[in-house]
């Protein structure tokens, strides 16, 4: 007796596969598209009900080849997934009979790691041109951004007139001690110089901070930010 819906769907899948393997004997291999086509069908990440699939699911010898190639393709993909620590796609096993196609999860893969940080655009252009001295009392200026306590990629749009080159970006506490630093080189988007820097704000306590941007010409510019 199947104990879970998953066991049941695996059981149904097995029964369907056995049925397809027996129901369409084609000893003369009439209309068989050839191994390269079956291989292509077996390598698919998603079901496509096209002509090759119609044939493969209605020809026992081709379906047998399909199952074998599918296993090879899935094993190769699993190795790749392990190597890259990335889930390329959830692998789906397919079995079809009588025009009805069942799709069930064939392989259980680990959940994808959360490597993609949210992109936060922070426009520093309204805060004026870069200056060459460290400014006093940055907290008295309006907030440049309110940031959530999580891993993010900050894309900073620099004020007009900012130099091209390598910048250092610091997150400083209210006493202007750096708590995080990162570096980035300017990139241009629509003629605006931008810096893209990754920060993991989940490690910081919520509160008032200062974003310091240190330009290639030695200039410092500071912007108050809040982390919540
Ligand atoms: Zn065939």
**Residue 99 CA, ligand 1 centroid: distance in Å:** 16
Q: Backbone phi, then psi, for 181, in 5-degree steps?
A: -135, 155
Under 8 Å between Cβ of 171 and 211 = yes
pLDDT tens, position by position, 177-222: 888 898 999 988 777 889 999 998 988 999 999 999 988 888 888 8
Task: Please tell me the predicted confidence (pLDDT) of residue 99.
Answer: 40
Does the pLDDT of residue 27 top 60, yes or no?
yes
For 87-101, the DSSP string reads: -----EEEEEETTEE
- Enter the pTM of the model: 0.47
pLDDT tens, position by position, 127-154: 765 454 445 555 567 888 899 999 888 9
**Residue 21 CA, ligand 1 centroid: distance in Å:** 11
**Residue 43 CA, ligand 1 centroid: distance in Å:** 17
Dihedral sign (CA 179, 184, 190, 191): positive
Q: Where in the chain is the domain with CATH 2.60.40.10?
A: 118-227
Residues in CB range of 35: below 8 A, 6 or more apart: 65, 69
Query: What is the second-level CATH architecture of the domain 118-227?
Result: Sandwich (2.60)
**Residue 185 CA, ligand 1 centroid: distance in Å:** 57
């Amino acid at each position: 007796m199947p104990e879970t819906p998953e066991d049941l769907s695996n059981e149904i899948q097995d029964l369907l596969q056995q049925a397809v393997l027996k129901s369409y004997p084609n000893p003369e291999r009439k209309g068989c598209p050839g191994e390269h086509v079956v291989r292509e069908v077996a390598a698919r990440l998603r079901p496509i009900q096209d002509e090759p699939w119609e044939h493969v699911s209605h020809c026992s010898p081709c379906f047998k080849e399909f199952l074998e190639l599918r296993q090879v393709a899935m094993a190769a993909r699993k190795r790749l997934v392990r190597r890259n620590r990335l889930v390329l796609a959830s692998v789906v096993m397919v079995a079809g009979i009588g025009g009805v196609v069942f799709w069930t999860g064939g392989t259980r893969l680990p959940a994808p790691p959360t490597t993609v940080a949210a992109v936060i655009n922070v426009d520093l252009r309204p805060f004026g041109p870069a200056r060459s001295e460290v400014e006093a009392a940055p907290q008295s200026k309006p907030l440049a951004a309110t940031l959530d306590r999580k891993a993010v990629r900050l894309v900073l749009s620099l004020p007009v007139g900012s130099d091209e080159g390598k910048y250092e970006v610091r997150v400083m506490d209210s006493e202007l001690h750096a708590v995080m630093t990162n570096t980035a080189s300017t990139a241009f988007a629509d003629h605006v110089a931008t810096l893209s820097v990754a920060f993991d704000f989940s490690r910081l306590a919520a509160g008032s901070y200062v974003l310091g941007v240190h330009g290639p010409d030695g200039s410092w510019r500071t912007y108050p930010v809040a982390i919540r």
